[in-house]
Structure 1
Amino acid sequence: MPEFHHSRIKGITANALIYWDEQDQEVCIDFSECRSNWVHYVNASDSFEGNNRSIETTNCVGCRDAFANPMYIEFYTVPRTRFVFPYKKNIIEQLRSLNSGKAYAFFKEINNLLMKNGWSTFDLG
């Protein structure tokens, strides 16, 4: 699975997330495609209860985990694409076993931009 530092994200629109890959080429993640892949994944999985989902009933395009180390947001592209939010912890964060406050601020900003544009991610943590 491709994994990128969140600073590689160029922007989020109503339809897509744009980022730079390893070769500094601009890449577009199509949210409609991610939603379709999410629905297929959930319906094929034994891990989710409930009726079959459809693209008409969800705007979920991936998953997120603020408690993972490092935090990440993962999109249901093929293969999946993950953006990580790693930062060194300050002494208080280290003592309390918390993720970096700076990392969380960027994590929250990206998640808020997704929601502002009408999309969601499944919370794993």
Structure 2
Amino acid sequence: MPEFHHSRIKGITASGLIYMDDQDKEVFIDFFVCKNNWVNYANESDSFAGNHRSVESTNCVSFRDAFAEPRYIEFCTVPTTRFVYPYRRNFIEKLRKLSSSKAYVLFKETNDLIKKYGWSTFDMG
């Protein structure tokens, strides 16, 4: 699975996300394709009990985990594409054994932009 630092994300639109890959080439992640892939994954997985999901019943395009180290948002591309949010903790965060608040702010900002355009992410944490 390709994994990139979130700073590689260059934009999020109603139809998808644009990022720069390891060769500094612009790559487009199509949210409509991700939605189809998410439905296929959820229907084939034993991890998702319940009704058979349809493309019409969801707008989910990725998985997210705010409690993982580092935090991530993983899009349902083939193979999946993960963006990580790693940051060093400040002194107080280390003392209290808390995660980096800066990482959370940036993670939430990305997730909020995805939601702004009508898409959703599946919470893994």
1:107 aligns with 2:107: yes
1:32 aligns with 2:26: no
Equivalent position of 1:41 in the other structure: 41
C-alpha distance in 2, partners of 1:85/1:96?
Answer: 20
Deviation at 1:31, TM superposition (A): 0.3
Deviation at 1:55, TM superposition (A): 0.6
C-alpha distance in 1, partners of 2:78/2:100?
Answer: 30
In structure 2, the residue corresponding to 1:122 is in which secondary structure?
strand
Deviation at 1:22, TM superposition (A): 0.3
Letter aligned with residue 78 of structure 1: V
C-alpha distance in 2, partners of 1:62/1:69?
Answer: 18
1:86-105 correspondence runs (5 A): 86-105=86-105
Deviation at 1:99, TM superposition (A): 1.4
Equivalent position of 1:8 in the other structure: 8
- Normalising by structure 2, what TM-score? 0.98
1:60 aligns with 2:60: yes
CA RMSD of aligned residues (A): 0.6
- Which piece of structure 1 moves more, 102-111 or 91-100? 91-100
Question: Share of identical aligned residues, percent?
Answer: 69
Query: Number of residues paired by the alignment?
Result: 125
C-alpha distance in 1, partners of 2:97/2:31?
Answer: 34
Letter aligned with residue 34 of structure 1: C
